[in-house]
Every structure is written in C-alpha cells, then in structure tokens.
Amino acid sequence: MKVVKNAGQIFDIELEEDLLQRNRELALENRKLLDSHGVLAVDIMGSVGSGKTSLIEQMVSCLKARYRIAAIAGDLTTTIDAERIKGRGAEVVEVNTGKECHLDANLVRKAIEELELETIDLLFIENVGNLICPADFPLGSHRRIVVTSVTEGPYMVIKHPHIFAEADAVAINKVDLSQAMGVEPEKLQEDALSINPALRVVRTNCLTGEGVEDVIELLVNWFIGKR
C-alpha cells in the first residue's frame, strides 16, 4: 500500500506545481494588459490588522490630485475595506475570496475587467491579510509592498522570509506604538534587509500619516520609471 500512498503524494505535488505555473502565466497576462494601458499596479500585502487599508487610504488621499487611482480590495467576506478606500475618492472593485486566504491572478483578472483601464494611472491591490501564500501567487502587479506593524511582535519579519524576499518595499507601521510594544523598528528593518538587501524600508504611522510621504516618493519614482 505504501506505493499507492507515495503515488498520491507525488500527484498532489504535481497538481500544486501546475496551479502555481498557471497562476504565473495569468499574472504575466495581467501585467501585459496593465502595461498596454500605462497602469502602474502595486500589490499591498501583510497580516490582518497590519495597516494595509490604512496605507491605501493615505496614499489615495495624498495622490488623488496627481493620479487617477483605482483599487482592488481583496477580503474574505466583508466590504469594510472597500468602503473605506472608496471614501477617500478611489474607484474600488471588491473581491470576496470566501475561504481563500490569498488573491490569485485569475481573481485579479476578473476584477481588472470591471475597471476602465484607460482612465486609470495607479492601481492598488489590497491582498487578503496573510503573510504566507500571497508570496507564491504573483498577481501581475509591477511592485509589491508588505505592511508589517510593531504590534505583530519582534519575530514577524524573520518568521516570514519568503514574502519579504518577494517584495520591493516594506512599510514598518504603527511606529508610535513601538515603545509600548517593546519592539524596535530598527530590528524589524535589519531583519527585512538581511532577507532582501534590495528592499526599500519606510516607517509609518498610517493613522496620522507620519512617514507616508516616503511611500509616496517610492510610488512616484516607480511611476516615472515605468514611463
């Protein structure tokens, strides 16, 4: 019976490889579609409660006079995040994933099809709150930002190397609470850079907007670089 069991395991692994490969292909198609309309897309990843929606709210408020902005809000079941982002003046397509703990390129493709891409410059994609599998599922975005907050404790970065390896930037958020939490933003920054030396690291308080100007600077440079 051992042979059968092993065969089953191999089959499962192949199935998963197929799935990831198919996702990568779809992500490339998404990227081409976005490029053909001059849209810069940024995937915002991070744990539940890290501040992804708050960062997007801040970015929309700061940039809406300069760029035409839309967002895709991925969430399991609620519309809370989509409503918050809409409230700042961006067009939002909501994607409820049900039980799925990440967005994938196919879901993003469906959401993109609901947008008029020729009327958009910047697209923020808020991923489902999770630091694990979003790393394996590129969506076709041009850049990826991880939001991690000091309230998640001192080991959040070092325990999730894969997602930081895949990211372009990390926002260390809720820095106003670092003393109360006994978590040093410097340590989180060191950990992130030890995983990925090319990461751009910013420190933010996305409730007050402190540090958000550094994220804006990154976005503007990415946007210019894409032109």
Tokens 């065969």 appear where? 7
52 is an interface residue for Mg ion by CB under 5 A:
yes
Beta-sheet strands, E only, within 2-68:
40-46
Alpha carbon 1 to its chain centroid, in Å, reads: 44
Using CB positions, name the residue nearest to Mg ion: 53
Smallest separation (angstroms) from Mg ion to the CB of 221: 25
CA distance 85 to 60: 8
Query: What residues contact 91, with CB distance under 8 A and at least 6 apart?
Result: 69, 70, 71, 115, 120
81 is an interface residue for Mg ion by CB under 5 A:
yes
The stretch near Mg ion (CB under 5 A) out of 29-37, 62-70, 76-84, 178-186 is 76-84
Is 215 in a helix, a strand, or coil?
helix
102 is an interface residue for Mg ion by CB under 5 A:
no
Smallest separation (angstroms) from Zn ion to the CB of 184: 30
Contact letters for Zn ion, residues 131-160 (x by CB under 5 A): --x---------------------------
Cα dihedral across residues 214, 170, 149, 80: positive or negative: positive
220 touches which of Mg ion, Zn ion, none (CB within 5 to 8 A by kind)? none
- The residue ranges that bind Zn ion (CB under 5 A) are 101-102, 133
Residues that bind Mg ion (CB under 5 A): 52-53, 81
